[in-house]
Amino acid sequence: MTATENDQLRKGERTRLRLKKTALKLFAQRGIENVSVRDIQAAAGQKNNGSITYYFSSRDALIREIVGDVAAVLDADNNRRLDALEARGGPASVREVAEILLPIVDREGEDTTEGQYQLQFFTSVLITRRDLLFEATEGADRATRRCFQHIVRLAPEMPREIIRQRLQLMLLFALSAGASMESGKEDHRNWARLWGQQSAKSNLADVMAGMITAPVTEETRAAVDRDRAG
C-alpha cells in the first residue's frame, strides 16, 4: 500500500469515527427518532450527502454499530468488577450485584466527551428500538447475564415470572438513572443537584436491590395466577 493510500485510509477512519461520535451525541440529546441522516452529516461537517451510506450502509447500521460499541464498554467494565468481587468470595447479597450493575459514567481512560452521552443514547434505543438493541448487543451482555444468575441465586423465593420482570425493570431503571447522571453533566440543574450529593449513587444501589428483594404482594401473586390461567 502506498503512502497516499495509507493517508486516505487514515482519513476515512477519522471520518467514520467523527460520524459515529456526532451521531452518538445527537441521538442522546434529541432521541433516536428525531435525528436524520442529514442532521448527522451536517453536524459532522460532511458535504457529501452519501457519507452515512458509504461508511455504514444505512442509518440503522450506524445505530447498531454505536450500540455495539457502548455495550462492549459496559460489558467489559462490569465483567472486570464482577471478576474482582468473585475473587473475594462474593457476591453475598443482591445489593453487591446491584453495585456491579450501577451505571458508571466516569471510566478511567475513557474519552469523556463520548462517554458523556453513552447511557442517554443507550436508553433512547432501549425505549424506541428494542429489536435493534437486542440484535446489536448479542454476545456483549455476558456480565449482565452473570449478574442476573447471582441475583436469582440470592433473591428471596418468588414466582419465576416476577423475578424475570424485576430483573428487566431493574436494568431499565439503572440505565435511565445513568442517563440522568449524564444529563446532570450538561448542566441540567435538577439532575446535577441530585447526582452532586455523595449519597445518591449509594442510594441508587439500595433502590436497585430493593426492586429485587421487595415482598411480592398478594395482588401480584393473584395476577401471576391469572396470567398462567390465560
Q: What is the model's pLDDT at position 127?
A: 85
Other residues' Cβ atoms within 10 Å of the Cβ of residue 211: 18
In single-letter form, the type of residue at position 204 comes to: L
In single-letter form, the type of residue at position 67 comes to: V
Q: What is the model's pLDDT at position 25?
A: 94
**Boundaries of every domain in the chain:** 59-215
Q: What is the model's pLDDT at position 126?
A: 85
Q: What is the model's pLDDT at position 111?
A: 47
Q: Average pLDDT for consecutive 10-residue bins of the chain (230 residues)?
A: 58 90 94 93 88 92 93 90 95 96 62 70 88 85 94 97 96 89 75 88 96 97 95
Q: What is the model's pLDDT at position 181?
A: 85
Q: What is the model's pLDDT at position 192?
A: 84
Place of cell 477512519: 13
188 φ, ψ (degrees, to nearest 5): -80, 110
Q: Give the pTM.
A: 0.82
175 contacts 167 by C-beta, under 8 angstroms: no
Q: What is the model's pLDDT at position 195?
A: 87
Selection from 126, 107, 123 nearest residue 115 by Cα: 107
- ∠ CA 75-43-178, nearest 5°, is 30
Other residues' Cβ atoms within 10 Å of the Cβ of residue 94: 24
What is the C-alpha separation between 200 and 88, in angstroms, rounded? 26
CA 101 to chain centroid, in Å, comes to 10
Query: Residue 65 is placed in which grid cell?
Result: 454499530
- The distance in angstroms from the start CA to the end CA of the chain is 65
Query: Residue 23 is placed in which grid cell?
Result: 451521531
3-state SS record for 149-185: HHHHHHCCCCCHHHHHHHHHHHHHHHHHHHHHHHHHH
Q: What is the model's pLDDT at position 6?
A: 55
Any idea of the CA torsion for 156, 161, 162, 163, to the nearest 10 degrees?
Answer: 50
